[in-house]
Each structure stands twice: as C-alpha cells, then as structure tokens.
Amino acid sequence: VSFNLWEAMKHPKDKGVCLKMDVIDEAVLDVKTKVMKPSPLEQVLTDAFTDIDSDEEQEIKECLRDLDALKEMSPKEEKIEELKDESKPVDVKLELKTLPSHLKYVFLEEGD
C-alpha cells in the first residue's frame, strides 16, 4: 500500500496563494543575543559562558569575588506593636442643629 502525501494533505484551491512562515520572533531573538551582551552578573547567574574574551572573563571573576565578599544578611526583624483593647466607646449625644433656610435635606432615614 502506498500513500501520496501530497494528494492527502489539504491545499488551497488557488495555486497562486503563497504560504509563509512567521520567523520574525526567532530572528529578532537571534539578533538581540548578538547585539546585546549580558552583564557579568547575568552571565554568572545564567551560566552563559559562550564566546567570552579575557576582559569579560576578568569582569566575571571580579563579580564573583564581590559576591563572595558579601556577608550573608540576616532577615530584618519587624517590630510589631500590639494594640491594646480599648474600653467601650462612650456614647456621645449629638446635638442636631436646624438647617439654614437655603439648605434642605436630600434624604433622611426614619429615626435619623
């Protein structure tokens, strides 16, 4: 049994249609990696040691020395002040004043 894959696949009815492949993202990423060199720290962290010259290697060694020289920092302790339970709020009787004649109530619930 033999299959003709060309005939089995779907093709556009118009033979003049051009099929394209989108490779822009891949090309941009390729150019970006060539143009933008990572920092020495980024190279150390990502282990991206490909095609480095002696100056870059020296920068990486200096960066590693600087990182090793840093002391381990202890987590900062937060000071938390506990809130004291306040006594019951004192009911204050509010005194309502009459509104001036040019003002009026928009909405009042019953009892207010």
59-106 pLDDT, tens digit per residue, is: 878 888 888 888 777 777 888 888 777 777 777 788 888 877 777 666
List the beta strands (DSSP E) in 1-112. none
Average pLDDT, the chain: 75
Identify which has the larger pLDDT, 23 or 67. 67
Domain span including residue 47: 17-67
Number of structural domains found in the chain:
1
Does 98 fall in a domain?
no
Domain-embedded: residue 96: no
Q: Whole-angstrom Cα distance, residue 50 to residue 37?
A: 11
| H helix count then E strand count, the chain | 4, 0
The pLDDT of residue 108 is 60
Q: What is the predicted pLDDT for the residue at 48? A: 60
In a domain, 55, yes or no: yes
For residue 105, with 0-12 CB atoms within 10 Å meaning exposed, 13-18 middle and 19 or more buried, which class applies?
Answer: exposed
pLDDT of residue 19 exceeding 70, the answer is no
pTM over 0.75: no
Residue 39 pLDDT more than 80?
no
Q: Is residue 51 one of the residues assigned to a domain?
A: yes
pLDDT reported for residue 84: 78
User: What's residue 109's pLDDT?
Assistant: 66
Joined together, the tokens standing for residue 86 give 């306040």
Two tokens at 13?
A: 């009815």
**Spatial separation of the C-alpha atoms in residues 83 and 100, rounded to whole Å:** 43
